[in-house]
């Protein structure tokens, strides 16, 4: 059965403290900020973007798998902040990783849910026999696309997760995936626009209650098709753009929040877009040494809908070396002042017609 | 506010053109140099004739992706290199890769001089934009995990 | 001639002393007739043609020659600032040279001036021409003073420069040299102190007439200290040199002619390859902390000029940083490799020392003008020393001077020997 063969994560080294941003803007009450559960978030360096983050997580993933890059015959790059609007960023990654030219390579852009969509496509490719090993790279730099002073600035961050999918040497089998989608006027950026906007507002109906509505549909479909209940899952990775979102999601699918809260990473990384839930899933995979453990991963993309994925670990997971993967990355950090964050995220309007930005 | 800010300005001096940058992408992405099929000598950047034995039988060779610092220096003189201005206190190093190739590269996310022998590994980062504004990706190094 | 070439080309290499002697007999001696450098402080709106004409007329004015007498020439320029195609023709035209006068353009980084001299030297030494013009120019249209050049990446190994500038190469080289041979910052401080002293004796220098910095400032381990030990800026500069054959020199009745010899060598332009140089096995232990290209060029030019390093009375080297000058002295064979720091600390580069060096103040005095005058200013000081016109900084009885310059982190070097009383 197809599933995850290996995983890799990359998170930028730089962080900004939520209080540092709050001191500048004071655009939300401290109480709400604390309820959101955001302590700090990642900041991309001046030379980082989804492609560089994706390249790093993919390298780590291939290293963990211990396979030659020539054995990979599919690559799907999932991102909602792809630097290229037309050209495939996945081809850049293909060359960076040295994959063969006949590899199936494509981009997937579908809000925060891009990663789940890419896994769905990859699983179909494998199950149909089209590809043997598919690399899914989910990477986002939301932080670069949120305007200064926007409330989501406390959460919008960057990170990447790569999963190698296939049928040989699987450490976690993907049992099923179910989706629910709907056109919601929320979290979008039209062509030519510099910044993302939460069309329906930060705490509005669509942003948060929409999450719950959509999750109920996809979860009901998943539960019915597989004959499972929330209690069957010991480990759950929930949507966690802000920490409070995981509590809301657990309410929607009526699971025990304590199956999910220990694996939530967004309080220290922020919302890494399509990579967030997958990094949380890797955090879970880091902690499991035995087969037959049931994992539930739930994704939600503002503006498009939700996804539910059920996984079962295999005994092979015990022999994965160099774990944990996620925790050391969370600990390797350097805090930045807010002014430098604005510079690194290129949010200051500068002279772009001179000989360079300074001369 | 425009996208030139997001991707960085397009430098007006000493800027690669898109096609020239494309031709050397394997070298920048994966440190693809050359190995002489006759004398076995390895080279980076790639070559088309071997300066050691003067044969033209050179094959692509993937250099080691890890190495150690030979000497390093933090560029904090206040004249940031054009196209790299946003990186404050850039650490520049001469690196000896594990296969003996020497390479000059920036050490990402490090702002202090590293002692000789510090282990480093390849990472890919954005470089200076090319003259049509396309993003150029290429090698940097960082301290080994 | 020296480097063993590819399998395709069979290069004739002289093997016996007789053959060598035969070859040497074929070259004529080349004499420096006159030279000129433009003054400091050109207004920003000065075009390169104006600077070029100024240097040329100043140079020609010192001679009894007319413009029509110039038979050949070479012009060094920097492709960063002068983008005219077929630049040789443009220069010949703007100077009003005769139609038959060939003008070879050279873009050879900061030692381009040396390369232009190398060309013209060969035109005359071969016997085809008797009068040749060497032009160099650097025009501050964009970025070409030291401060402005710092942030520019290096033009060599273009595809792989990825944001590494002159300054970065220079510091890596200095630090490796210090680490390899166990020096702190003092040799560089001592070097710059001596250069600062000389700069105050050189009317053309940027530092002329300014206060002398203290040794404490020069030896500070800080960015300010590094700047105080490095070359300064000059801006738009052009030079002109007229070379003549020995017959022409006799015909013109020159008193005390200065003959010149020049040689060139290169290393791989990609600086990483300085750690493995395929050309000559004896250079294998060397890397960026030594100067094999200077050694290679010096070997040839010393043989041509029939001198040994002990004969050198004054050395003029390209020193954008103190350690760079020290490494050049080692490359020229004036002191053993790795001993340059101690050589300088012992005061040997000062007047009265074993080999007075950069008596014009070097990079600190004249700044980095790249192809504008980086080689020529060293050569001109050598000529002044041999002519006994270096007044307050004169090396008594100087008969042999060596001038050197490099381009792109010492991947190419020019070494020239100037001799008095050689005809």
Confidence at residue C142, expressed as pLDDT on a 0 to 100 scale: 54
Instruction: Output the pLDDT for position B7.
Output: 81
**Greater model confidence, C411 or A90:** A90
**Reported confidence tier of residue C155, pLDDT bands at 50, 70, 90:** low
Judging contacts by C-beta atoms under 8 Å, the chain B residues touching residue C161 are: 14
- Each residue's pLDDT tens digit, A166-197: 999 999 999 999 999 998 888 889 988 899 98
Residues from chain B contacting residue A52 (CB–CB below 8 Å): 123-126, 137
Strands C237-245 and C131-138: antiparallel
What is the per-residue pLDDT for C150?
A: 66
Residue C199 has a CB neighbour count (10 Å cut-off) of 27
Look at residue A330 and tell me whether its pLDDT is greater than 80: yes
Could you report the per-residue pLDDT of A236-290, keeping only the tens digit for each?
999 998 888 899 999 999 999 999 999 999 999 999 999 999 999 999 999 999 9
Q: At C18, is the pLDDT very low, low, confident or very high (cuts 50, 70, 90)?
A: low
Residue A104 has pLDDT above 80, yes or no: yes
CB contact under 8 A, C272 and B103: yes
Average pLDDT over residues C377-388: 96
Nearest-Cα residue of chain B relative to residue C268: B51
CA C368, C372, C378, C383 torsion: positive or negative? negative
| Domains annotated on chain A, with CATH | 3-344 (3.40.47.10)
Which stretch of DSSP H or E encloses residue B140? strand B137-143
List CB contacts of A251: < 8 A, sequence separation 6 or more.
A212
Give the whole-angstrom CA distance, residue C31 versus residue C15. 29
Is A344 in CB contact (< 8 Å) with chain B?
yes
Q: Is pLDDT above 90 for C283?
A: no
Instruction: Please tell me which chains touch A, using 3 or more CB pairs under 8 Å as the contact test.
Output: B, C
Q: Three-class SS of residue A252?
A: helix
Please give the pLDDT value at position A138.
98
Q: Residue C319 in contact with residue C231, Cβ under 8 Å?
A: yes
**pLDDT confidence of residue C147:** 53
Higher pLDDT, C16 or C225: C225
Of residues C5 and A19, the one with the higher pLDDT is A19
Residue C325 confidence (pLDDT) above 90: yes
Q: Is the pLDDT of residue C9 over 80?
A: no
Q: Tell if the CB–CB gap between C171 and B13 is shorter than 8 Å.
A: no
Separation between Cα atoms, residue C143 and residue C152, nearest integer Å:
8
Residues of chain B with pLDDT under 70: 1-4
**pLDDT score of C65:** 95
> Residue C223: what pLDDT?
82
Return the domain boundaries, chain B.
3-143
Q: Which long-range contacts (CB under 8 A, 24 or more apart) does B55-58 make?
A: B55/C7, B58/B34
CB A194 within 8 A of CB B1: yes
A47 touches chain C (CB under 8 A): no
Q: Are the Cβ atoms of B29 and A96 closer than 8 angstroms?
A: yes
pLDDT band per the 50, 70, 90 thresholds, residue C2:
very low
pLDDT for C156 equals 65
A152 touches chain B (CB under 8 A): no
Decide if C268 and B21 are in contact by the 8 Å CB cutoff: no
Q: What is the pLDDT of residue A203?
A: 63
Mutation for testing the B interface, residue in C4, C140, C159, C177 having most B CBs under 10 Å: C159
Q: What is the pLDDT of residues C231-255, one digit of tens each?
A: 877 778 899 999 999 999 999 999 8
Closest C-alpha to C261, from C300, C317, C313, C314 = C300
Q: How many CB atoms lie within 10 A of CB A324?
A: 14
Residue A299 has pLDDT above 90, yes or no: yes
The whole-angstrom distance between A355's CA and the closest CA on chain C is 9
| pLDDT value at A68 more than 50 | yes
pLDDT band of residue C11 (cuts 50, 70, 90) is: very low
Amino acid B145: pLDDT:
84
- Give the neighbours of chain B: at least 3 Cβ pairs within 8 Å: A, C
Residue with token string 């007999």: C25
DSSP state at residue C388: T
What residues of A are in contact with residue B30 (Cβ under 8 Å)? 95-96, 98
Does the distance separating the beta carbons of B82 and C151 come in below 8 Å?
yes
Choose the closest CB to B116 out of C153, C179, C268. Answer: C179
The minimum CA-CA distance between B43 and chain C, rounded to whole Å, is 8
**C-alpha span between B129 and B116 (Å, rounded):** 31
- 114-153 in chain C: CB under 8 A from chain A: 142-143, 148, 151
Are B76 and C276 an interchain contact pair (Cβ–Cβ within 8 Å)? no
Cis status, amide bond into A255, omega within 30 of 0: no
Say whether pLDDT at C393 is over 80: yes
Answer yes or no: is pLDDT of C146 > 90: no
| Angstroms from B10 CA to nearest CA on chain C | 14
Angle, to 10 degrees, between the axis of helix C166-181 and the axis of helix C322-331? 60
Instruction: Specify the length of chain A in residues.
Output: 359
What's the pLDDT at B14?
A: 77
Residue of chain C nearest B31, judged by CA positions: C160
Q: Is B64 on the interface with A (CB under 8 A)?
A: no
Spell out which residues of chain A touch residue B24, defining contact as CB-CB under 8 Å. none
- Measured between beta carbons, which residues in chain A are less than 8 angstroms from residue C143? 355, 359
| C contacts of A355 (beta carbons < 8 Å) | 142-143
Question: What pLDDT, in 10s, does the model give residues C165-198?
Answer: 888 888 999 999 999 999 999 999 999 999 999 9
Exposed (0-12), middle (13-18) or buried (19+): which is A174, by Cβ within 10 Å? buried
**Where do the structural domains in chain C lie, given as residue ranges?**
24-138
pLDDT at C297: 94
Residues in B touching C165 (Cβ below 8 Å): 75, 79, 81
Per-residue pLDDT band for A348 (boundaries 50, 70, 90) equals confident
Q: Do C223 and B106 touch (CB under 8 A)?
A: no
Q: What is the fold, at CATH topology level, of the domain defined by C24-138?
A: Peroxisomal Thiolase; Chain A, domain 1 (3.40.47)
pLDDT score for C21: 56
pTM over 0.95: no
Contacts of C148 in chain A (CB under 8 A): 359
Cβ-based contacts of B22 with chain A (< 8 Å): none
Minimal CA–CA distance to A150: which of A159, A142, A158, A160? A142
Output B7 or A122, whichever has higher pLDDT.
Answer: A122
> Are A47 and B85 within 8 A, CB to CB?
no
Average pLDDT of C333-349? 96
C12: confidence class by pLDDT, cuts 50, 70, 90:
very low
- Which run of H or of E encompasses A175? strand A172-181
Task: Decide: A115 and A278 in contact? Cβ < 8 Å.
Answer: yes
CB < 8 Å from B in window 156-175 of C: 157-165, 167-169, 171-172, 175
Sequence-distant (≥ 6) Cβ neighbours of residue C211 within 8 angstroms: none
Listed in sequence order, the residues at least 6 apart from A268 whose beta carbon sits closer than 8 Å to its beta carbon are: A15, A39, A40, A330
pLDDT band at A295; cut points 50, 70, 90: very high
Q: Is the pLDDT of residue C14 over 80?
A: no
Chain A CA closest to residue C152: A356
Within an 8 Å CB–CB cutoff, is residue B109 touching chain A?
yes
Asked whether residue C336 carries a pLDDT value surpassing 80, the answer given is: yes
Q: Please name which of C244, C222, C398 lies closest in space to residue C307, comparing C-alpha atoms.
A: C398
For residue C352, give Cα distances in angstroms to C199, C313, C314, C325, C379: 17, 10, 11, 19, 21
Which parts of A266-337 fold into alpha helices (H)? Answer: 266-269, 276-287, 326-331
| CB-based contact, B127 to chain A, within 8 Å | yes
Q: From chain C, pick out residues whose CB is under 8 angstroms from the CB of B70.
A: 176, 275
Q: Phi and psi (nearest 5°) for B35?
A: -125, 135
Predicted confidence band of residue C4 (pLDDT cuts 50, 70, 90) = very low
Per residue in A202-243, pLDDT (tens digit) is 666 666 778 888 999 999 999 999 999 999 999 999 999 888
**Interface contact A95-B6, CB threshold 8 A:** no
Q: Which residues in chain B are contacts of A91 at CB distance < 8 A? A: none
> Which of B53-62, C41-50, C156-165 tops mean pLDDT?
B53-62
Q: Give me the total of CB pairs closer than 8 Å, taking one residue from chain B and one from chain C.
A: 123
């Amino acid at each position: 059965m197809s599933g995850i063969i290996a995983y890799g994560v990359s998170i930028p080294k730089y962080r900004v403290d939520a209080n540092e941003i709050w001191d500048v803007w004071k655009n939300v009450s401290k109480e709400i900020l604390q309820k959101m559960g955001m302590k700090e978030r990642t900041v991309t360096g001046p030379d980082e973007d989804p492609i560089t983050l994706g390249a790093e997580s993919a390298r780590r993933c291939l290293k963990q798998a211990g396979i030659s890059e020539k054995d990979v015959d599919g690559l799907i790059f999932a991102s909602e902040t792809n630097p290229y609007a037309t050209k495939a960023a996945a081809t850049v990654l293909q060359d960076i990783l040295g994959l063969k030219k006949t590899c199936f390579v494509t981009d997937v852009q579908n809000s925060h849910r891009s990663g789940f969509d890419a896994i769905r496509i990859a699983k179909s490719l494998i199950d149909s026999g089209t590809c043997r090993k598919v690399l899914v790279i989910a990477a986002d730099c939301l932080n670069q696309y949120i305007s200064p002073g926007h409330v989501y600035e406390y959460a919008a961050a960057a990170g990447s997760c790569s999963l190698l999918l296939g049928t040989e040497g699987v450490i976690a089998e993907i049992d099923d995936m179910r989706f629910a989608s709907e056109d919601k006027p929320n979290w979008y950026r039209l062509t030519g626009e510099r910044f993302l906007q939460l069309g329906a507002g930060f705490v509005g109906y669509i942003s948060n209650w929409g999450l719950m509505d959509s999750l109920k549909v996809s979860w009901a479909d998943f539960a019915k098709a597989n004959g499972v209940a929330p209690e069957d899952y010991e480990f759950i990775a929930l949507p966690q753009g802000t920490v409070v979102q995981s509590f809301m999601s657990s309410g929607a699918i009526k699971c025990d929040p304590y199956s999910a809260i220990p694996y939530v990473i967004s309080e220290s990384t922020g919302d890494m877009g399509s990579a967030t839930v997958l990094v949380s899933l890797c955090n879970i995979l880091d902690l499991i040494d035995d087969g037959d453990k049931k994992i539930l991963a739930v994704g939600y993309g503002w503006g498009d809908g939700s996804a539910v994925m059920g996984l079962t670990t295999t005994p092979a997971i015990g022999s994965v070396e160099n774990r944990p993967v996620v925790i050391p990355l969370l600990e390797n950090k350097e805090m930045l002042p807010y002014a430098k964050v604005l510079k690194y995220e290129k949010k200051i309007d500068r002279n772009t017609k001179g000989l360079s930005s300074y001369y | 506010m425009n996208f030139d800010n997001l991707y960085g300005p397009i430098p007006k001096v000493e800027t690669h053109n898109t096609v020239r940058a494309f031709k050397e992408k394997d070298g920048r992405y994966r440190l693809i140099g050359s190995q002489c099929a006759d004398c076995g000598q390895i080279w980076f950047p790639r070559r088309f004739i071997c300066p050691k034995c003067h044969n033209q039988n050179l094959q692509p060779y993937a250099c080691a992706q890890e190495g150690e610092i030979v000497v390093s220096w933090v560029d904090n003189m206040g004249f940031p290199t054009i196209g790299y201005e946003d990186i404050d206190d850039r650490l520049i190093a001469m690196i000896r890769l594990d296969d003996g190739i020497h390479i000059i590269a920036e050490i990402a996310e490090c702002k202090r001089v590293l002692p000789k022998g510090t282990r480093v590994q390849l990472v890919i980062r954005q470089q200076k934009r090319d003259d049509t504004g396309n993003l150029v990706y290429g090698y940097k190094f960082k301290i080994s995990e | 001639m020296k480097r063993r070439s590819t399998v395709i080309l069979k290069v004739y290499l002289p093997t016996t002393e007789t053959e060598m002697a035969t070859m040497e007999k074929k070259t004529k001696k080349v004499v420096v007739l006159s030279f000129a450098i433009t003054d400091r402080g050109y207004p920003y709106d000065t075009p390169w043609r104006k600077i070029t004409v100024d240097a040329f007329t100043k140079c020609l004015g010192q001679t009894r020659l007319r413009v029509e007498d110039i038979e050949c020439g070479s012009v060094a320029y920097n492709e960063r600032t002068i983008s005219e195609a077929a630049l040789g023709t443009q220069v010949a035209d703007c100077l009003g040279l005769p139609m038959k006068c060939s003008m070879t353009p050279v873009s050879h980084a900061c030692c381009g001036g040396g390369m232009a001299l190398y060309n013209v030297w060969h035109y005359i030494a071969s016997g085809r021409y008797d009068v040749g013009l060497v032009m160099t120019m650097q025009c501050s249209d964009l970025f070409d003073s030291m401060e402005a050049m710092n942030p520019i990446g290096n033009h060599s190994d273009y595809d792989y420069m990825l944001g590494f500038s002159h300054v970065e190469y220079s510091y890596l080289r200095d630090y490796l040299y210090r680490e390899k041979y166990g020096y702190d910052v003092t040799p560089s401080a001592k070097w710059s102190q001596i250069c600062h002293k000389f700069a105050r004796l050189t009317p053309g220098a940027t530092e002329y007439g300014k206060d002398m910095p203290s040794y404490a400032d020069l030896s500070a381990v800080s960015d300010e200290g590094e700047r105080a030990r490095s070359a300064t800026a000059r801006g738009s500069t052009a030079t002109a040199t007229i070379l003549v054959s020995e017959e022409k020199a006799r015909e013109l009745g020159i008193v005390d002619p200065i003959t010149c010899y020049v040689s060139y060598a290169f290393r791989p332009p990609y600086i990483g390859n300085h750690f493995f140089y395929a050309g000559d096995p004896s250079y294998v232990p060397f890397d960026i902390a030594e100067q094999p290209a200077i050694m290679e060029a010096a070997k040839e030019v010393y043989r041509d000029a029939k001198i040994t390093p002990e004969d050198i009375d004054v050395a003029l080297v390209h020193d954008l940083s103190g350690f760079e000058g020290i490494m050049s002295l080692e490359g020229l064979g004036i002191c053993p490799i790795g001993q340059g720091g101690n050589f300088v600390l012992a005061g040997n580069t000062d007047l009265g020392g074993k080999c007075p060096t950069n008596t014009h103040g070097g990079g600190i005095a004249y700044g980095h003008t790249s192809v504008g005058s980086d080689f020529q200013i060293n050569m001109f000081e050598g000529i002044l020393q041999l002519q006994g016109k270096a007044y307050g900084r004169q090396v008594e009885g100087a008969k042999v001077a060596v001038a050197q310059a490099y381009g792109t982190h010492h991947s190419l070097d020019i070494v020239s020997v100037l001799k008095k009383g050689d005809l």
